[in-house]
Amino acid sequence: MKQNRHYIRNADLLREVIRYKETEVFSEELGGMLLTIARNYASKGSYSGYTWVPDMVSEAVLTCVKYLKNFNPEKSTNAFAYVTQICKNSFKAFIKDQHKHKDIKDLCYKSYTKFIESQKAYTLSGINYENVLDPFRSEDEEKFNKPH
């Protein structure tokens, strides 16, 4: 018996997508197909170094569920390519978002260390908050707090 080299056949996926569009009920088989496509796409070498690959797969499946209703079987019969492209775009967006979050965390950490280094307001039990907050008090606040 010859082994089929395709892990998901386009005809099976198309049949499930058409059934979903007609009944608006997402079948277990269709969900499994989307998950399999996303996992296999994530196994590409270009995504091998990322620690958040399972999160990327989950996000891709969620995005597929969100946009599968836009697939038009009259316009194209290649549902596999449609789902794969959604996964590809979802992975790219997820990586871009994670890099943005990483940059924000790095900026916050660098700002925090510069702030701590510039203050030199340490005591044996912790930070002397009065000295730390002094540079941030505005002149208006000081005028308001002065006795008249």
pTM: 0.68
Residue 4 covered by a domain? no
Residue 3 covered by a domain? no
67-96 pLDDT, tens per residue?
999 999 999 999 999 999 999 999 999 999
User: What is residue 54's predicted lDDT score, i.e. its pLDDT?
Assistant: 93
Mean pLDDT of the chain: 80
Per the structure, the complete domain to which residue 29 belongs is given by: 10-145
Residue 92 covered by a domain? yes
Residue 69 covered by a domain? yes
Decide: residue 22, CB within 10 A, 0-12 exposed, 13-18 middle, 19+ buried: exposed
Residue 1 covered by a domain? no
97-111 pLDDT, tens per residue?
888 888 777 777 776
Residue 73 covered by a domain? yes
Residue scoring higher pLDDT (114 or 141): 114
Work out how many domains the chain is built from and give that number. 1
